[in-house]
Structure 1
Amino acid sequence: MNNLNKIMSGLVVAFVVVSLSAFTVDQRQAAMIFQLGEIVDVKTEPGLYFKMPFLQNVRFFDARILTMDSQEPERFITSEKKNVLVDSFVKWRIVDVKKYYVSVGGDEMRAKQRLFQTVNDSLRAEFGKRTVHDVVSGQRDQIMEILRQKADQDARKIGVQVLDVRLKRVDLPQEVSESVYQRMEAERKRVANELRSTGAGEAEKIRADADRQREVILAEAYREAQRTKGEGDAKATALYSEAYSANPEFYAFYRSLEAYRQTFRNKSDVMVLDPSSEFFKYLKSPGK
């Protein structure tokens, strides 16, 4: 009976010692072992570990990727002296547990305050180099990468790695928005006027070219008509000359008839002529 009690007592003591000595670290954690207030070891790999009971104690730290989200949009000034409101967040994690503990006492809140100050200082510096257009749309990705690099460089001093810095929202205060919209509208009007002016110039050029071509075509047509008319007149003259040579008396009679027809075409015309005029030669004696 005494032996059984001793065995049972030994098992109980062993269980207590093991329970006070053993601890586990999972993949989401890192552990730091202290002995009399001094850091003696750091465990970052998952597994079962042991410590000296009563003499040593363990403190666990979150090794997951953490998020620091700004509570309220922060106001920054651009190179144009315009205010912008920025809402951002940071992804970070502990990579050096010992440095993290020594720097901020292992206090996550203090670490976030340090990161917040670093990111804000970087934002202020980067936005001060850029215009409103750059920070709103033009260079947003570039700004975020620069912020991440600067924040990570400072965060390494406290055992933290900055994985990402994101600008969730970049807005303009109401008074700045109105100014920007007015400038954008003026720019659109300027471009529209420039396009209209260019279009009007092109249209005028096309019209001038069309007028020039029309004048050339008309001149060519007139010249061709005059040439054809000249050829016709020449042929008519040749025919008249040939007819006159063949029968001068008949040709004179024919020309007189043409003259009568043209002269007496309008019945209302009144003419005063000498009856003995050569004009009435064939009217007086058509057979001669």
Structure 2
Amino acid sequence: MMMDVKPVKKQKLAMNRIALLMTFLFALGLVASTMFVVDQRQSAVMVSGLGNFKRVISAPGLYWKWPAPFNRVMLLDKRTQIASSSKPESYLTADRQEVFVSLYIKWRITDPTSYFNRFRHELAPAQNQLLGLAYTALEAKRGQYSAAELAANSNHQIISVLQTQTAHAAREWGIEIADIRITHLGFTAESNDEVYKQMGAERAEVAQQLRSAGLIEAAQVRSYAERERETILAQGYKRAQMIKGDGDAQAVAIYASAFGRDPQFYRFYKSLDAYRQIFRERDLIVVDPTSDFFRFMHNPAGMPSRKP
């Protein structure tokens, strides 16, 4: 009995194609498992199969890991993270007032090696320990301030101390502290009125100090302005006198030049000028008409009058 070989060949050909496709997919998966991408927001830490640190990759790009089953890659986020307390912490101030404080911290990973050795690639443990550092620093300093001072300096002196101490400790973990802020500062109902009164008194004292400093500065500015005014006026007067002296000298020179060229005309001109300055409308003047002052009225040449 003869068997038909064509169906058998087709069946073998289909199985070969399936095997070839499975081999291709396996090879593709193997190649893909040896590649990883690092973008600009991340740092990659390559570790061995036993979890031991091998190297850090900070530059973005496409990288290979080989052998794939024995090397793993953990990605660390380089962007700024925010750690905030879930509930306020209670403290006693220097004046024995109970306050409730909530903090938030902005931080980023700057040293992937130190960070990985302490926290691996997790964020939550780092955030909890950073908050613990900040609250410990606040606990050490809160006894130096009253409740009102704590409220007044919550964004200035105390924050500066918290950030300095927390940043110093976090630097050893490969973390940089960008900012620390007090998001909530609450008081008990019994101490609210007392705290607000104390804050008002302290603010009034600060306002008085600012006003006094302003008055002193205003007096200094006015004194300086007066000195500058006197100096400018003295310099202006000196300059005016110099200009006036130069003008008088030039006028005298011009008059002398004119008098030297035509003395008779000069005397006539000056006499007319004297008449204009002395005589006014409806003036009554009793003088001797034969005096030399009126000689140009009697004689155009200005010859002296002969008295009888």
TM-score bin (small chain): 0.5 to 0.7
Which residue identity lines up with residue 155 of structure 1 in the other structure? Answer: A
Match of 2:57 among 43, 61, 67: 43
Q: Quickly say closer, same or farther: Cα 1:170–1:9, change in 2 above 3 A.
A: closer
| Matched pairs, number | 188
Match of 1:127 in 2: 142
Match of 2:170 in 1: 155
Counterparts of 2:25 and 2:102 in 1: how far apart (Å)? 57
- Runs of at least 5 residues in structure 1 that lack an aligned partner in the other structure: 189-288
Q: Is the 8 A contact 2:75 2:121 kept in 1?
A: no
Counterparts of 1:173 and 1:92 in 2: how far apart (Å)? 31
Q: TM-score, normalised by structure 1?
A: 0.57
What is the root-mean-square deviation of aligned Cα atoms in Å?
3.0
Q: Is the 8 A contact 2:115 2:175 kept in 1?
A: yes
Q: Quickly say closer, same or farther: Cα 1:63–1:139, change in 2 above 3 A.
A: closer
SS of corresponding position for 1:80? coil
Match of 1:145 in 2: 160
Q: Quickly say closer, same or farther: Cα 1:126–1:161, change in 2 above 3 A.
A: same
Q: Quickly say closer, same or farther: Cα 1:85–1:48, change in 2 above 3 A.
A: same
Q: Is the 8 A contact 1:31 1:59 kept in 2?
A: yes
Q: Quickly say closer, same or farther: Cα 1:147–1:9, change in 2 above 3 A.
A: same
- 1:92 CA displacement: 1.0
- 1:107 CA displacement: 2.7
Q: Is the 8 A contact 1:134 1:140 kept in 2?
A: no
Counterparts of 1:83 and 1:136 in 2: how far apart (Å)? 12
Which residue identity lines up with residue 136 of structure 1 in the other structure? Answer: A
Larger Rg: 1
Deviations 1:143-202 (A, max 9, x none): 1122111111111222221111001222222111133245568899xxxxxxxxxxxxxx
Counterparts of 2:149 and 2:201 in 1: how far apart (Å)? 19
Q: State, as a whole percentage, how many aligned pairs show the same letter.
A: 27
Match of 1:176 among 177, 185, 191: 191
Mapping 1:192-203, distance limit 5 Å: none
Q: Quickly say closer, same or farther: Cα 1:182–1:14, change in 2 above 3 A.
A: closer
SS of corresponding position for 1:140? coil
- 1:13 CA displacement: 6.2
SS of corresponding position for 2:101? strand
Match of 1:29 among 9, 23, 42: 42
Match of 2:132 among 117, 137, 157: 117
Q: Is the 8 A contact 2:44 2:58 kept in 1?
A: yes
Counterparts of 1:76 and 1:82 in 2: how far apart (Å)? 8
Counterparts of 1:134 and 1:186 in 2: how far apart (Å)? 11
Q: Is the 8 A contact 2:45 2:75 kept in 1?
A: yes
- Runs of at least 5 residues in structure 2 that lack an aligned partner in the other structure: 1-12, 204-308
SS of corresponding position for 2:152? helix
Match of 2:92 in 1: 77
Q: Quickly say closer, same or farther: Cα 1:139–1:91, change in 2 above 3 A.
A: closer
Match of 1:248 in 2: none
- 1:136 CA displacement: 0.8
Counterparts of 1:39 and 1:184 in 2: how far apart (Å)? 54
Match of 1:65 in 2: 80
- 1:40 CA displacement: 1.1
- 1:106 CA displacement: 3.1
Deviations 1:89-139 (A, max 9, x none): 001112222211221333322212211110101111222211222211246
Q: TM-score, normalised by structure 2?
A: 0.54
Which residue identity lines up with residue 20 of structure 1 in the other structure? Answer: S
Q: Is the 8 A contact 2:148 2:195 kept in 1?
A: no
Counterparts of 1:42 and 1:79 in 2: how far apart (Å)? 47
- 1:14 CA displacement: 5.4
Match of 2:233 in 1: none
Counterparts of 1:36 and 1:185 in 2: how far apart (Å)? 63
**Runs of 4+ off more than 3 Å:** 5-17, 181-188
